[in-house]
Amino acid sequence: MSLVDVHNLKVHFPVRRNRFGPATAYVKAVDGLSFSIERGETLGLVGESGSGKTTVGRSLLRAIDPTAGTIHYHLGNQSIDLTSLQGRALRKFRKHIQMIFQDPYSSLNPRMTVRDIIAEPLVANDLARGAALDEQIRETARRCKLNLEHLRRFPHAFSGGQRQRIGIARALVSNPEFIVCDESVSALDVSIQAEIINLLMDLQRELSLTYLFIAHDLSVVAHISNRVAVMYLGQLVELAPTKKIFYSPKHPYTEALLSAIPEVDPDLKLEPANLKGEIPNPADPPTGCRFHTRCPYAEAKCRSEVPAWRQLAEDHHVACHFSEELGLKGMEVPTQRAGS
């Protein structure tokens, strides 16, 4: 059963010559995404920088107002379209959805103690006071394996991994159902990344959390995700269970992203040069298939016809004219978790 249903989500940012002038173009950061996130699952969202994945995450929190589309949350027996909420109703709803940010250094206010940082969502929304507030802070800190003595200190006294635990505690303290993890381990050392990912997985089991896990690195996504959605230039190009994405990708862009992580299987000879050039300008995307300017398999049809978002199998969607014929190369799944 899905917790979040996104339908035809679009986020277009106007480009103006001056602040009050008319829009001369639109940057189509997100351009017609439809997908669901099942209750209790982790959906990985991957793509290069500039693909629009952070904009999707922020839209799901209504930190950005979508240009079009709907975002339905199914909480209890209610179905709420987040795009229709405004003012107080939106603020009240925000306790159900939280975000863990990328940079554990800049995302914490250096003038606030750890206690006050964790307390912020409860205080701002008047969700707890006095002894109940303190107890909720301590319980959340314990869950995130933070030393309670550290609650009185300031963020500068902590390492990157500890700061990210503080960020996780702040996201968890209001008991949300859904958390967007936006490149939440990208700024950390590899050994610390594993610690934080294991903590997120433990918390998910304990608290029945649902995650959208945004990353540019497919190997990180594989470790935590049940399914993976691959995004290119504002659109989804492939969505499937993690194992299928790694073993048998059906989109050339997914194959190219896999080729960038040779350590997963050193015997597999995939050319990293598969992916040439830069991601095109989202204000002026290529005609036909948006990937055709970089795709090694592109044919004339790719330049003129937009590939449909279609279902290859019950759990596998792709947007490529030639998915069945290409025989793309995959890799081995590097984790036990990535088998669902």
Site for ligand SF4, rule CB under 6 A: 251-252, 289, 291-292, 295, 297-298, 302, 307, 320-322
CB 179 within 8 A of CB 209: yes
CB 204 within 8 A of CB 138: no
Provide, rounded to whole angstroms, the least separation between the CB of residue 12 and ligand SF4.
22
Provide, rounded to whole angstroms, the least separation between the CB of residue 102 and ligand SF4.
29
Instruction: Measure CA 278 to chain center.
Output: 21
Residue 36: which of 259, 245, 226, 304 has the closest Cα? Answer: 226
Distance CA 140, CA 11 (A): 34
Provide, rounded to whole angstroms, the least separation between the CB of residue 251 and ligand SF4.
6
Burial of 167 (0-12, 13-18, 19+ CB in 10 A): buried
State which residue, 73 or 322, has the beta carbon closest to ligand SF4. Answer: 322
| Residues in CB range of 282: below 8 A, 6 or more apart | 27, 28, 29, 31, 50, 52, 233, 234
State which residue, 97 or 319, has the beta carbon closest to ligand SF4. Answer: 319
Provide, rounded to whole angstroms, the least separation between the CB of residue 237 and ligand SF4.
7
State which residue, 161 or 286, has the beta carbon closest to ligand SF4. Answer: 286
State which residue, 101 or 291, has the beta carbon closest to ligand SF4. Answer: 291
State which residue, 16 or 276, has the beta carbon closest to ligand SF4. Answer: 276
Provide, rounded to whole angstroms, the least separation between the CB of residue 235 and ligand SF4.
11
Classify 163 as helix, strand or coil.
helix
